[in-house]
Structure 1
Amino acid sequence: MNPPPRILRDIALARSGDKGNRATLSVIALDAADFPVIDRWLTAERVRLHFEGLVHGAVDRYPLPQLSAVHFVLHDALAGGVTRSLALDAHGKTLSAALLDMPLPE
């Protein structure tokens, strides 16, 4: 039996925040040796496609090599904002958890 595919959660953790209709997500390598994989593979376009239908605006990407992290700002991502959305728990923390489920390249 083949092992399950590796996911981003296997090599990184995520932190999140929200401000109005914007979510911020930071993906931080658990081991600095894995940062080059995250930096090369986790592009703004991949994140945008992963959240297609949820994030309706641009995705900005900020590499932070000194922290072994990549930071993203997802615009128009929270259905109007935490205080305006009718969605249950549409906060950034749920988006960061979902991001960590992305399969890693083989």
Structure 2
Amino acid sequence: MVRSEAEVTVSLHRLAHARAGDKGERLNLALFAYDPRHFDVLMAQVTEARVQALFAHRGVSRVRRYPLPGLSGMNLVLDDVLQGGVNGALNLDGHGKTLSFLLLSMAIILPAALKTGNQG
């Protein structure tokens, strides 16, 4: 993504918080904007394709996104991302909650007009 002078790049964690759950090989990430004005920006940039690319190193096979406009959020379901599941994986701390931080590290281009004091 190319940024113009009227835009700023921020980490997703500045705009939203996430909750996670895991079951077997499936990760469920719920993402909610702190400010409802940011919902459209998140919908435009937190796409299934970008999330799949972000988690590609973990072998994710599919990402589905379910918009929750009334809550200024979305639910993301990632298949085959937990490398054997919490109890079956050889990696350390492969729980879904730790993977929500990877999602929140995503770079988001925010129109400067929507920037508030807490987005650095």
Whether TM exceeds 0.5 here: the answer is: yes
Alignment of 1:85-96 (within 5 A): 85-96=89-100
User: What is the SS of the residue equivalent to 1:74?
Assistant: strand
- What residue is the counterpart of 1:52 in the other structure? 56
Amino acid at match of 2:96: G
Unaligned runs of 5+ in 2: 1-7, 111-120
Alignment of 1:1-106 (within 5 A): 5-105=9-109
Per-residue deviation, residues 1-42 of structure 1 (Å, max 9, x unmatched): xxx941101110011000011111011000111111101111
The structure whose residues are more often strand, as a share, is 2
Deviation at 1:95, TM superposition (A): 1.1
Which has the greater radius of gyration? 2
In structure 2, how many angstroms separate the alpha carbons of the residues matched to 1:11 and 1:56?
A: 25
Task: Give the TM-score, by structure 2 length.
Answer: 0.81
Unaligned runs of 5+ in 1: none
Q: Tell me the C-alpha RMSD between the 2 structures.
A: 1.3
Runs of 4+ in 1 over 3 A off after TM superposition: none
Alignment: residue pair count: 103
